[in-house]
Structure 1
Amino acid sequence: MGHRLVLVGVVLMLTAVTQVISADSRGVCRFLQEKPDEVPFCFVSRGEPLFLHVDPGPQFLEQEVILQNGDVPIARSIPGPVWDYSLYPGYSSRAEFFSNGTLFLDQAERRDTGRYHLRTYNTAGYLLWDLRLDLEIQVSVSEPVLSLICLSGGETQVTCSSEGEPMEYRWSLDSQSVANQPISISNQSHHITTITLPGHMTGNLTCKVMNDVSTSINTIHLSTCSVVSERLLYMVLIKGVAVMAVILLLLVSLCVWLSQTSRPRPSSTGDVDEKVDLDDIIYVEVVKGCKTDGDQAPPPFDKVVYGQIRMDQLEQES
């Protein structure tokens, strides 16, 4: 055990050189066994599978391998003729450790960010390797959303927003950098950036959003923005108010006309309703002439006069 501590101290005194790398298309981050004094830096997208790999060597099964993230133990191999290992709490349900020197995590999480140590010991307990790897889990960026407005001074203002962490923005106009253009760029927040350009500038403006694990772009076409004076805005406002007043007056006139034309017209016969119920009509016979005694024949039908009498009128008269 004493030899182990001494060797560990010697290894830690070596000057570390950081080499920035990214995981390959399969999400594999490799310990640099051939350059143990270098510390590779690896980036992996959150939610993607993660592989930490080291070349095992001919006597890998006979060695004790301990893998840690900082001070947090992850896995430990058990030396023997058959590969065997144990996983520590927090990794038993999401990790596997293979005999080819690969640790597999099903989904990378933000808490997996850190400096990893892979140490190997022989059967006598001597430290053989102390390999290190810095890992950062990032959130892939989303497609940027662009919006454009013309300012009152005639400038063009474009806003670019996206999701992801961390993020870096880059602007270009017609595939050319805008670094040497008379523009103003401000980052309103981590997810939003705004660029202000002279109103006469036209073309295709592109916003590129990126981090170490993803890149996304979007383009918007710029048209000329003209200067809008305060006098012109005032005149437009006055005309708008006048038009609204005329429309309101027309609507009021239309409502008055409709209300007058919808009233019922009075009957030409006075208060007498034109609709007469047939049940209220009484037919009477009025005989023209004088009553005589005897068997005088009744008058002919053409001398009978029929009339209509409204019952409600009789009741009023009575």
Structure 2
Amino acid sequence: MISIYMIFTALVQTALAKESMECDLSEPTGAPNCFGALAESLFFHLPTNMKKLILRRKGASTILNIANMTVIISEEYTSRSTYFPNGTFKLDNARKTDSGDYQLEPFGSDGRLLNKTNMHLEIQAPVSKPAVTQMCLTPEQMNISCSSEGDGVKLILSLDGLLLMQTGGHSQSLSRSTVDTLSLAGSTAKQHKPIVSNVAISLHGQLTGNLMCNVRNNVSREETVIRLTSCDGSISLSSHVTVAVIASGATLLLLLALFLGIKHLNNKTSPITVSEDNAEDEIVYSDVRVMKHTRTTIPESITMNIC
């Protein structure tokens, strides 16, 4: 059944949300490619002052039919679409099944078909906030990884504004679990299972600075920044924790040295009778050295491994 909407009064269009996507079909050349965000609103900008206007999916039924101030929206789209008199057709809660080829057919005042405007629409899942990890393998080598969910994800890694590497958005490796799911599941499961993109890079273990992982696709972008710490022979301790440990260690060494010095004297020297005439002070010196960590400058070369 087709629902018919009669426009009697002008409708006030609500402000477009910043996260909404738009497809311009108001010009004959149109937009050959358009992208929409999964579960978000999508706006089609259509020409106005036409006697008749038809928007359809290629190989499917008509979506929108406007003729003589009468707006007809197919039942499939009635519950999640709105047509505004300024020529905007709003589609809510975009789905993966909305992806495909669209065609717009405008008719002039004489009833003749003016042209056919074609457009390809792709609905993408927005990217998730990237997860970034640092793993020290040795004091001279660390591994950095960044991963994010979404469709067509492009990943960019930089250190203090210096570009380390980037991927193109179509060659990211999928996680093993995602690969297995996509290869074994049916078409419905494929539409809802998130794709995980991951990139890994190997850096010198003494590099420090602000590491940023920026991820994006055609409908969204996110980024995560972490403080890169040097691998000073300790895999899990950060710099401020290491300083605290060194300070505590110095105190323990001092107490231990004093204890061993006193014990050594008790074992190696004979008792001394102290009197007012031969009284003398016995002083034990202990040489305690606190090793101070130094920070190495950025090496000339960086080795990168992309997973």
Percent identical among aligned pairs is: 33
User: Does 1:27 find its partner at 2:33?
Assistant: no
How far apart, in 2, do the equivalents of 1:154 and 1:128 lie? Answer: 68
Q: Deviations over 1:195-244 (max 9, x none)?
A: 1112122212111111111111112222222579xxxxxxxxxxxxxxxx
How far apart, in 2, do the equivalents of 1:76 and 1:150 lie? Answer: 58
CA 1:188–1:53 in structure 2 vs 1: closer, same or farther (change >3 Å)?
closer
CA 1:188–1:131 in structure 2 vs 1: closer, same or farther (change >3 Å)?
closer
In the alignment, which residue of structure 2 is the partner of 1:205? 211
Amino acid at match of 2:219: V
Q: Deviations over 1:139-158 (max 9, x none)?
A: 11111111211114731111
Deviation at 1:171, TM superposition (A): 0.5
How far apart, in 1, do the equivalents of 2:31 and 2:22 lie? Answer: 15
Q: Deviations over 1:42-88 (max 9, x none)?
A: 2221121111012303xx2xx222111222234343533xx212222
Structure 2 unpaired stretches of 5+: 1-16, 167-171, 176-195, 235-307
2:121 to 119, 128, 135: 135
1:121 to 85, 95, 107: 107
Regions of 4+ moved over 4 Å:
23-26, 122-125
Q: Deviations over 1:279-317 (max 9, x none)?
A: xxxxxxxxxxxxxxxxxxxxxxxxxxxxxxxxxxxxxxx
Q: How does 1:1-318 map to 2 (within 5 A)?
A: 26-33=20-27, 36-37=28-29, 39-57=31-49, 60=50, 63-80=51-68, 83-122=69-108, 125-152=111-138, 154-179=140-165, 187=173, 189=175, 190-226=196-232
8 A Cα contact 1:66 1:77, kept in partner: yes
| Larger relative contact order (Cα-Cα within 8 Å, sequence gap ≥ 6) | 2
Q: TM-score, normalised by structure 1?
A: 0.54
CA 1:114–1:162 in structure 2 vs 1: closer, same or farther (change >3 Å)?
same
State the number of aligned residues.
Answer: 193
How far apart, in 2, do the equivalents of 1:25 and 1:65 lie? Answer: 28
8 A Cα contact 1:31 1:40, kept in partner: no
Structure 1 unpaired stretches of 5+: 1-22, 181-185, 229-318
Q: TM-score, normalised by structure 2?
A: 0.55
Root-mean-square deviation (Å) = 2.8
Deviation at 1:162, TM superposition (A): 1.7
State the structure with more CA Rg. Answer: 1
CA 1:37–1:24 in structure 2 vs 1: closer, same or farther (change >3 Å)?
farther
8 A Cα contact 2:139 2:231, kept in partner: no
